[in-house]
Amino acid sequence: MKRSVNYALLLGGGLSLLAGLLHLVIMVGGADWYRFFGAGERLSTLAANGSLVPGLLAAGLTVILFLWAAYAFAGAGLLSPLPLLKPALIIISAIYLARGLVLIPAALFRPEALNNVKIWSSLVCLLMGLSYAVGTRQVKKIPNSVNGMG
């Protein structure tokens, strides 16, 4: 029986993978890159002064984004099922959607704080959250590798 491709989870996983790679590039790029991509003046200054904090934060986010990509690819059937796959995909969807929807109250209550980076990153997170949510819903049964339940 031919399995259909879950394009939504492939898109979400691909975007998570790209976001993780971007965080690695930002680490290498240094203070100006942190500043350009909206990390804030405090983290940018720390990076300029040689602090390990911005790099550790970016590395941590990279690991999380790569893990989330792996969950999307597992849900799409490209990788073996990961532990607690369906609940993890639901949680990842919710986190991305919440991050994307932060744009609404920000636009209503603090529009002066918005800039292009914040707007675009929110829209990308919204797209990622929708991709994960739609893809998770499209999967009829996701086997759970921990206990065999789906």
Q: Is residue 149 part of a domain?
A: no
Taking the CA atoms of 69, 73, 74 and 76 in sequence, report the sign of the dihedral they define: positive
Q: Is residue 145 part of a domain?
A: no
> Residue 144: what pLDDT?
47
Tens of pLDDT along the chain (150 residues) come to 566 789 999 999 999 999 999 999 999 999 999 999 988 899 999 999 999 999 999 999 999 999 999 999 999 999 998 999 999 999 999 999 999 999 999 889 998 888 888 899 999 999 999 999 999 998 776 554 444 444
Q: Is residue 26 part of a domain?
A: yes
Q: Is residue 69 part of a domain?
A: yes
With 0-12 / 13-18 / 19 or more C-beta atoms within 10 angstroms meaning exposed / middle / buried, residue 108 is exposed
**Total domain count, the chain:** 1
| Structure tokens that stand for 33 in this block | 């890159």
CB-facing half-sphere around the CA of 11: CA atoms within 13 A: 17
Name the one residue in this structure whose structure tokens are 């849900």: 75
| Structure tokens that stand for 35 in this block | 């500043």
Domain coverage including residue 91: 7-138
Q: Is residue 143 part of a domain?
A: no
Reference 43, options 57, 28, 29; nearest CA is 57
Q: Is residue 14 part of a domain?
A: yes
